[in-house]
Amino acid sequence: MTPLHIVMHPADNVAIVANDGGLPPGTQLANGLTLKDKVPQGHKVALVDIPANSAVVRYNVPIGYAIKDIPAGSWVHERLLSMPDARELDHLPKATVKRTLEPLEGYTFEGYRNADGSVGTRNILAITQTVQCVAGVTDFAVDRIKRELLPKYPNVDDVVALEHGYGCGVAIDAPDAVIPIRTLRNISRNPNFGGEVMVVSLGCEKLQPERLLPPGSIPVANADEKLDVVCLQDDAHVGFMSMVDSIMRQAETHLKRLNARKRETVPASELVVGVQCGGSDAFSGVTANPAVGYCADLLVRAGASVMFSETTEVRDAVEQLTSRAQTPEIADAIVREMAWYDEYLKRGSVDRGANTTPGNKKGGLANIVEKAMGSVIKSGTAPIAGVLAPGEKLQNRGLTYAATPASDFICGTLQLAAGMNLHVFTTGRGTPYGLAECPVIKVATRTELARRWHDLMDINAGRIADGEATIEEVGWEMFRYMLDVASGRKKTWAEQWKLANQLVLFNPAPVT
């Protein structure tokens, strides 16, 4: 076995071990260094003697400070490092990096054009719920709709209940309650739902249908048409099956309209792609995330919309983000969202370091600083053209920082609210994450994961570390695969197995 190690920058004083199973002590690396310890795969080895209190550098960034002398050849893990303080949010560079990407023309996909001009990659009936109380009834009805009605409407891809844990027992008038409310409202407007909005309400909940979807918030087929609401507490419902029959009857009205829709050729600029990582490891920032970043640049060059998120996972790269902002005003908006989240964490008596998981550390990520340097690479190199607060709807093309928590499920939910019609998710440790509302393309950071999870991972970026493909080659592979998935020519593994996580609304307001 040839010992393999990866150095991210010439100024780094650590490298990561790439071999499956790691390397034993006594192994001599290609640079002549002999390992003093067993170093697991993805973990760091000191390339030089690192004195106590000096910086451990990866990505040309201090990811921590040695709490004792670390001899060259030693395993460098989280227990040997103290974490740097977070970068202050004042005196940051703003809009100092100017880069123009060459346009990329001629790429198209087959999508569903909506009345509001947006384009869906899938044709789905979504049933919005105002409160968790109705979830059981709606799920029962959706199961019957799929079995009894959906076969009659072959152009409709699926029926999805927008289940969530919000709607009652909450401080509905608290200032931060705007976040979950606008999130659910904007998810109901996702382009994959074709403008067809149907609501199931209990009747007594705090989040009443007219508050969730006030007049003008949802385009309807004609000006006289009212919001389609099935209220379970209505006197007309006598017994459980009466409720179910009512949901099915209304659903069929929407299914008929959705079934009449046809795919048409649209430019690649109609893609709205959310990028995210979960179950990250040290290879995330070496293989999958750089490939996603390259693909993100291709999408921006094609005129598409790309969102990167996960506030705590890009907080330590804030200087990179504000410098890439298209204008000083956009840089100020990045700072605003970072500062809001800093205060949110402070209220909970934690800091950004609470982000890293046991799996992240087992995969070689010592702390949130190292994780952040690998995570932000997903955003590519394009100028940041916009900023979204949690739950807001995307208004511009190009690259957008959509401020969300790093939680996989909450981030995905908020990107759906922003208008995402295609999702890219990288993972090193492995996760079966999926969304019923949107195709999710899963990218493995390591060949070993792609081999073991061969029917869960769509793209193997581990070939980059193996020397079998370049970042650019995998980025182009991902771009072309996106067009195929968006067109319905291919289904992701998550779609084939119908793997989907529930929506999780971000609710920083009190629960009463």
Within 10 angstroms of residue 266's Cβ, the number of other Cβ atoms is 17
Q: Is residue 90 part of a domain?
A: no
The strand pairing partners of 15, in sequence order, are 45
Same domain, 158 and 43: no
Tell me the residue type at 195. Answer: G
Residue 506 lies in a domain: no
Place of tokens 């006598």: 238
Q: For residues 411 and 318, give the distance between their C-alpha atoms in angstroms, rounded to a whole number.
A: 19
311 within domain boundaries: yes
pLDDT digits (tens, 9 = 90+) for 416-470: 999 999 999 999 999 999 999 999 999 999 999 999 999 999 999 999 999 999 9
The percent of residues in the chain predicted with pLDDT above 90, rounded, is: 97
Residues (pLDDT < 70) of the chain are: 219-225
pLDDT, tens digit, 9 for 90 and up, residues 216-260: 887 654 445 689 999 999 999 999 999 999 999 999 999 999 999
Task: Say what the pLDDT of residue 175 is.
Answer: 94
Give the CATH number for residue 119: 3.40.50
Residue 93 counted as domain residue = no
Residues 163 and 77 in one domain: no
Residue 95 lies in a domain: no
Same domain, 326 and 388: yes
Q: Is residue 71 assigned to a domain?
A: yes
Please compute, for residue 294, the number of CA atoms within 13 A of its CA located in the half-sphere on the CB side: 18
Query: Of 259, 286, 314, which closes a domain?
Result: 259
Tell me: do 323 and 360 sit in the same domain.
yes
Q: Across 323-421, where does the E strand assignment appear?
A: 384-388, 398-402
Indicate if 294 and 415 belong to the same structural domain: yes
DSSP string of 213-230? S-TTSS--SSTTPPPEEE
Same-domain pairing of 326 and 468: yes
Query: Does some domain include residue 102?
Result: no
**3-class state of residue 237 by DSSP:** coil
Question: What is the predicted pLDDT for the residue at 222?
Answer: 44
Whether 510 is covered by a domain: the verdict is: no
Percent residues over pLDDT 70 in the chain? 99
Q: Are residues 250 and 280 in the same domain?
A: no
Strand order in the sheet with 55-58: 55-58, 61-66, 81-82
Both tokens of 311, joined, read: 């506030």
Total of domains in the chain: 3
pTM of the predicted protein model? 0.96
Helix (H, G, I), strand (E, B) or coil at 296: helix
- The enclosing domain of 70 has a CATH number of 2.30.130.110
Structural domain span for residue 475: 267-365+378-397+411-497
Q: Say what the alpha-carbon torsion angle 13, 22, 376, 96 is, to the nearest 10 degrees.
A: 20
Computed on alpha carbons and rounded to an integer, the radius of gyration of the chain in Å comes to: 24
pLDDT in tens, 12-47: 999 999 999 999 999 999 999 999 999 999 999 999
Judge if 194 and 339 occupy the same domain: no
- Given 259, 281, 301, the domain boundary residue is 259
Q: How far apart are CA 59 and CA 363, in angstroms?
A: 17
Q: Are residues 297 and 420 in the same domain?
A: yes
